[in-house]
């Protein structure tokens, strides 16, 4: 079916504007406590910080109250996420569960799990990781071969997941596991989603160090790890639809264009109030891109609020957004006067740190959460071009 893009402008409601002021005030207090690290992209990992955010009611904001949620709008959630990211708040202990895993449990989880797990996520007490990728199954998630075999009262898991962000910190993983072979008619058949407790005997987590020298992702090996029946999420063998939904949540937020923003912010600070014409024009160009992306991304939040599933629009925002954030450090480097022409001071140091960090994280931005080529395939299909 042929469709077209549609990014209607969204006006933030008064509740979202009020919330923005509250989140900013909270973050100002946290900055004074030294919680925020200026040059980090998505900020660090802090269970203490996540519990504070949970206590404010800013995790699971859109979920039903009976599961610990707050029944607020997608636009309020958007504002909160945007402020946290812009401030480099250490949200890693709750962001995956808030954005992705919680909504999957809410939609497909068994009632008992919804009642026990969701309120803890909303309180900032549980960290989740995502177990999709495997050594021979990345873009093609439906080629996953890590098996779950039926046993009494549950399932035995064997195999390997890779690039699993936060696995070493996480309490739970939502894993995509093979429960049957694919069928001739549907090669995506045969995969099932499970909630896996990360301290289950038979699970080994091995670190993979990234380009910045940080330990963010891992290899996770399963050797007869037992998962109870109650941790089955959705229908056996039918996870292809659920996993696709999960990716739509992952693709739609401001985290897809904001991750290298610190290099622009620090550059503006460094060049001061009277930059050269060339620098002012260069900054204006990047800010114009940013403002457009932000409007498009906010428009996706508006569609989610209206109960739509804007998968194609979300893929377009992620593609444009990640390409923007990936190119930004290099564009700023080319705009910046050479270090020999600058007065060394604290602003200069902050800029250099931000430039170094964002340059090192740039390559991953168009890989995580679906590569550029895969997103363009989704967009092309959505537009009826393939």
Ligand X SMILES: Cc1cc2nc3c(=O)[nH]c(=O)nc-3n(C[C@H](O)[C@H](O)[C@H](O)COP(=O)(O)OP(=O)(O)OC[C@H]3O[C@@H](n4cnc5c(N)ncnc54)[C@H](O)[C@@H]3O)c2cc1C
Using CB under 6 A, list all residues that contact ligand X. 129-133, 138-139, 163-165, 217, 364, 367-368, 370-371, 373-374, 377
Q: State which residue, 13 or 377, has the beta carbon closest to ligand X.
A: 377
Separation between Cα atoms, residue 29 and residue 27, nearest integer Å: 5
| Shortest reach from residue 360's CB to ligand X, in Å | 12
Q: How far is the CB of 197 from ligand X (least distance, A)?
A: 17
Listed as own residue / partner, the contacts of 110-119 with beta carbons closer than 8 Å and 24 or more positions apart are: 110/230, 110/232, 110/233, 112/230, 113/195, 113/230, 113/231, 113/233, 114/67, 115/67, 117/172, 117/195, 118/60, 118/63, 118/67, 118/68, 118/69, 119/67, 119/68
Nearer to ligand X, 131 or 321 (CB): 131
Least distance CB 253 / ligand X (angstroms): 15
> In whole angstroms, what is the distance from residue 90 CA to residue 180 CA?
39
Q: What are phi and psi of 223, to 5 degrees?
A: -130, 95
CB of 196 to ligand X, least distance (A): 13
Quick check: 41 and 358 in contact, CB under 8 A?
yes
Pairing of strands 154-162, 147-151: antiparallel
**Which residue of the chain is nearest ligand X when measured via CB?**
138
Q: Which residue number, 160 or 331, has a Cβ lying nearer to ligand X?
A: 160
Residue 297 or 366: which CB sits closer to ligand X?
Answer: 366
Tell me the closest approach of the beta carbon of residue 133 to ligand X, in angstroms: 3
Looking at the Cβ atoms of 35 and 164, the one nearer to ligand X is 164
Nearest distance, CB of residue 374 and ligand X, angstroms? 6
Residues 255-271: b if buried by 16+ CB within 10 A, e if exposed? bbbbbbbbbbbbbbebb
Nearer to ligand X, 99 or 350 (CB): 99
């Amino acid at each position: 079916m042929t469709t077209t893009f549609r990014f209607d402008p969204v006006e933030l409601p008064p509740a979202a504007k009020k919330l923005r002021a509250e989140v900013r005030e909270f973050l100002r207090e946290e900055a004074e406590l030294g919680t925020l690290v200026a040059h980090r992209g998505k900020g660090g990992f802090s269970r203490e910080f996540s519990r504070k955010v949970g206590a404010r009611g800013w995790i699971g904001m859109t979920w039903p109250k009976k599961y610990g949620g707050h029944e607020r709008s997608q636009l309020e959630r958007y504002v909160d996420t945007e402020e946290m990211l812009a401030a480099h708040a250490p949200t890693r202990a709750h962001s995956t569960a808030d954005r992705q895993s919680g909504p999957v449990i809410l939609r497909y989880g068994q009632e008992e799990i919804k009642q026990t797990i969701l309120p803890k996520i909303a309180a900032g007490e549980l960290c989740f990781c995502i177990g999709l990728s495997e050594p021979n199954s990345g873009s093609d998630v439906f080629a996953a071969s890590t098996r779950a075999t039926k046993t009494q009262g549950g399932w035995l898991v064997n195999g390997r997941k890779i690039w699993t962000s936060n696995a070493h910190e996480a309490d739970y993983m939502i894993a995509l596991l093979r429960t049957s072979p694919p069928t001739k008619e549907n090669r995506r058949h045969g995969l099932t989603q499970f909630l896996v407790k990360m301290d289950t005997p038979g699970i080994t987590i091995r670190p993979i160090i990234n380009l910045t020298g940080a330990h963010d992702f891992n290899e996770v090996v399963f050797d007869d790890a037992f998962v109870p029946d109650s941790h089955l999420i959705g229908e056996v063998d039918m996870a292809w639809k659920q996993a696709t939904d999960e990716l739509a949540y992952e693709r739609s937020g401001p985290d897809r264009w904001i991750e290298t923003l610190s290099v622009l912010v620090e550059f503006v600070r460094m060049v001061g109030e009277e930059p050269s014409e060339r620098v002012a024009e260069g900054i204006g160009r990047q800010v114009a891109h940013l403002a457009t992306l932000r409007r498009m991304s906010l428009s996706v939040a508006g569609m989610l609020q209206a109960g739509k599933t804007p998968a194609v629009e979300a893929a377009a925002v992620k593609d444009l957004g990640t390409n923007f954030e990936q190119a930004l450090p290099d564009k700023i480097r080319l705009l910046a006067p050479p270090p020999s022409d600058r007065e060394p001071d604290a602003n200069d140091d902050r800029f250099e740190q931000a430039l170094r960090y964002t340059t090192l994280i740039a390559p991953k931005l168009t890989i995580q959460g679906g590569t550029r080529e895969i997103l363009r395939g989704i967009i092309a299909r959505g537009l009826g071009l393939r």
